[in-house]
Structure 1
Amino acid sequence: MPETYTNYVDGEWRESESGETFTVHNPADTDEVVAEFQQSTAEDARGAVEAAAAAQEEWADTPGATRGKLLRSTAKRMDDREEELTETLVQEEGKTRSEANGEVNRAINIFYYYAERAMDYAGERKQPSSKGQNLYTVREPMGVAGLITPWNYPIAIPSWKSAPALATGNTVVLKPAMDAPTVFAKVVECIDEAADEVGAPDGVFNFVVGSGEDVGSAIIDHEKVDTVSFTGSRAVGEMVYEQATDQHKRIQTELGSKNPTVIGPSADLEEAVNVVGSGAFGVTGQACTATERVIVHDSLYDDFVDQLVEYAEDLDIGPGLDDPGMGPHVSESELESTLDYVETGKEEGATLEYGGEKLEDGEHENGYFVTPTVFSGVENDMQIMQEEVFGPFVGVTPYSDFDEAVELVNDVEFGLAAGIVTQDHSEANRFIQDVDFGIVKVNEATTGLELHVPFGGMNASSSETYREQGEEGMDYFTIIKTVYDNY
């Protein structure tokens, strides 16, 4: 029997006020139920916020070293359950075992990283203009942090929001995505045990599962929520931004993108194909940093398309626990969306070189599997080159000179991750300077991120307020007080 999870509020596991539940299914085999969760209400969310608000002052007064101990103890418990967390992530979200294990270890390391940073993140001493004065800044927590996270990185993203919030003395109310809440529910079990170990106040961390309309909106609306951090689709993110700013809350949104990779004339073709293939088809293309546009120099274009098709054809597609080259989409709606974009590409006159087919036989019979899609002959104003597909889908277009390539790169509303494959260092540096993207990769896939450096996009990909991860991830959850101490 699948396990039934309740919400975690005020230091205890609670059933929803609704009395209703929903089930999470394995996207590789929809007959398999992974877990059962609460269909929570706005009242459940408000109770979680009240618990967080009641605990906030005590948690803010807790020494940084103790807050770090909570995070370190959580990380250790996650480390001990690494295999369990990996398999859970595979079963509910569909990643391959290797991809899931990489994400789990990233989440573990995030908690370890912020455990150390919690001890020395406080403010700065400044040189005063007169004698007899101490001049310094103090960073204080914002208060109650409302965190709303997506399904595509269901352990990493909640971790990189929760850990810096807790490290800096905030209390947390987190709403995970309903498609994949199980793996982080297990992290909450680790947080609960760690909180008992260090004597953290009840309510320091709260976890409520439900819809964005009911639970998410109630968190954002609550007067005791001081800051909101959201990752998800552009359409929902814009509504969250408007809702939070109308109430003068601090807001951070990281949304979608349409990420390009440029293949320069000096590029090694095999390297270029591997960079694009991993960036486009890894994690089934279900990453906000996934490569969806490839802009290839005329001299390499035909050979590149041929070799990228070979790369796609060679991918083994199957259930993630078998660790194939690519797993399923997370849900039927995501699969259908990708298939719809394939049809759109055909209608727009692009050439379907490979893929875009739903797999329905054998081990694929009960899952959301699709072959990776490669289009050539695309124009930049086509819908398939302007809208985020969020699947294993890539369009390839040629260019003749560098300025044209940069113009094509920037000719979208988004601006999260852009890459270039080149052996020309001058070209790489011009690219870094000229593209309007928050993350720039040289000779590397657009996917994959370091946890100790800032993450975030430009333009429609982000609220462009604060970055996530690294020390900047802590900045978001704090406010500066400047002290003039005369003696």
Structure 2
Amino acid sequence: MPTVSENYVDGEWTVSETGETFAVRNPAEPSSITGRFQASAPGDVEVAVAAAVDAQEEWADTPGPDRGDVLKRASELLESRKESATERLVREEGKTRSEAAGEVQRAIDIFAYYAQKCLDLGGISKSASGRNTDLYTKREPLGTVALITPWNYPVAIPAWKLAPALAAGNTAVIKPASAAPGMTALLFECLDEAGLPDGVANMVTGSGGDVGTPLAEHDDVDGVSFTGSTAVGTSVAQSAANDLKRVQCEMGGKNPTVVMPSADIDEAAEILGVGAFGTTGQSCTAASRAIVHEDVYDEFVEAVVAYADDVAIGPGLDDPDMGPHVSESELESTLEYVELGQEEGATLETGGERLSGGEYGDGYYVEPAVFSDVDNDMRIAQEEIFGPVLSVIEVADFEEALAVANDIEYGLSASIVTQDLTEADEFVDGVEAGVAKVNEKTTGLELHVPFGGYKNSSTNTYREQGDAGLDFFTSTKTVYRNY
């Protein structure tokens, strides 16, 4: 029988007031249930928020190094369980073993990083204009924060929200995505064992309507950090604005990689292939548009098609190049976009077929797809697909490439493949994206630098990760002290 996971509220594992649960299935073998989780109700949110509010003052008064000790122990406990955590992530979300291991390690590193940041949290000192006066700032926690996280990075994203929130002295209530909540539960197992005081961090599972909305709109919540779709994130931000909550939303992407004539085409094809098809294309930073100079267009299409055809697909535990989609609905969405691209007049060069039977069984598998002859105004070039689909767009020169890259409502991650330093610098200066890369894939982030997007990829308020990750979770007080 699959394990039944409970909510974590006020330091205790508890069942929902509904008494109901929902099942999470293995994307590689949907008949296999990996776990059951609480189908919580608004009343469960009330209890969790009340616990966080009650614990907040004591946690804020806890010395930073002591808070850091809890985070450090949680990091060590997660590291001791890395192998089992990796397998759990694979079975629940569908990532390959290598991708899952990398994500678990990132969560380990994030908790260790913010454990160290607890040692030097503070403000700045300035010279006052008058005599006998000290002028300085101090950073204070927001209070109680709501964290709403997605399924595609089910341990890394909860970690990069929880760790800085707790490091800064906030208390938190988190709602993980229902498609893959087990990894967040694992984080709470580690935090509980690490000695986190009761009520400081709480987890409530359930639907967006029954848990996410009442949590984000709760009067006692002082800030909301959300990662997910642009449509939902926009609604969250608008709701938070009604009572002036601090809000941070990181949302969708439609990320371009520009390929110029000076590029090594085989290297460019690999950069695009890894960026587009890694994690089954289920990353907000995945490469979705290859914007290629006409001089190397045909050569690039041939190379990236060959890359796609060589992608090994299978169950994540076998550690292939690409695993299944997380759910049937995500698979169906990708297949619909493949059909749409052909209807729009693009050429399907390879892939886009569902794989079933034999080793694939009834898993949610699809071949990586490459479209050529794509115009940037086609829906497959404008809308986030969240699957392994790459649109290749031909341009005449660098200026057109940059214009096409920016001709999109999103602005999350972008890259260029070139050996021309001037092109590289002009791309970095001109591209409308929060992350700009040169000769690298659009995916992959360092944990100690800011992450966030422009335009409809973000609320454009606060960045996540690194020192910037603490900014959202703290308020700055300026102190004038005349002695």
Structure-2-length-normalised TM-score: 0.99
Match of 1:474 in 2: 470
Pairs within 5 Å for 1:261-300:
261-300=257-296
Distance 1:205 1:40 in 2: 17
Q: Which secondary structure state, in structure 2, belongs to the residue aligned with residue 467 of structure 1?
A: coil
Whether the aligned pair in 2 keeps the contact of 1:406 and 1:435 (CA below 8 Å) is: yes
Distance 1:300 1:369 in 2: 31
Match for 2:326: what amino acid?
V
Distance 1:442 1:24 in 2: 39
Distance 1:290 1:247 in 2: 34
Identical amino acids, percent of aligned pairs: 59
Distance 2:68 2:122 in 1: 13
Distance 1:278 1:184 in 2: 27
Q: Which secondary structure state, in structure 1, belongs to the residue aligned with residue 76 of structure 2?
A: helix
Distance 1:248 1:369 in 2: 43
Q: Which runs of 5 or more structure 2 residues have no equivalent in the other structure?
A: none
Q: Deviations over 1:372-415 (max 9, x none)?
A: 01000000000100000000000001111111001100000000
Match for 1:130: what amino acid?
G
Match for 1:89: what amino acid?
L
Distance 1:64 1:390 in 2: 39
Whether the aligned pair in 2 keeps the contact of 1:58 and 1:201 (CA below 8 Å) is: no
> Displacement, 1:130?
2.3
- Say yes or no: does 1:322 pair with 2:318: yes
Match of 1:344 in 2: 340
Match of 1:225 in 2: 221
Match for 1:436: what amino acid?
E
> Displacement, 1:201?
3.0
Match of 2:81 in 1: 81
Distance 1:28 1:73 in 2: 33
Of 298, 301, 304, the residue aligned with 2:297 is 301
Match of 2:110 in 1: 110
Name the stretch that deviates more: 217-226 or 413-422: 217-226
Distance 1:249 1:260 in 2: 33
Q: Which secondary structure state, in structure 2, belongs to the residue aligned with residue 153 of structure 1?
A: coil
Pairs within 5 Å for 1:102-141:
102-141=102-141
Distance 1:404 1:217 in 2: 42
Q: Which runs of 5 or more structure 1 residues have no equivalent in the other structure?
A: none
Name the stretch that deviates more: 50-59 or 200-209: 200-209
- Say yes or no: does 1:213 pair with 2:197: no
Match for 1:457: what amino acid?
G
Match of 2:70 in 1: 70
Match of 2:183 in 1: 183
Match of 1:59 in 2: 59
Q: Deviations over 1:95-129 (max 9, x none)?
A: 00000000000010000000000110111111222
Match of 1:8 in 2: 8
Distance 1:54 1:7 in 2: 18
Distance 2:350 2:243 in 1: 48
Match for 1:62: what amino acid?
T
Of 413, 416, 433, the residue aligned with 1:420 is 416
> Displacement, 1:131?
2.4
- Say yes or no: does 1:435 pair with 2:439: no
Distance 1:87 1:127 in 2: 55
Whether the aligned pair in 2 keeps the contact of 1:258 and 1:388 (CA below 8 Å) is: yes
Q: Which runs of 4+ in 1 moved over 3 A?
A: none
> Displacement, 1:311?
0.5
Match of 2:25 in 1: 25
Distance 2:70 2:46 in 1: 25
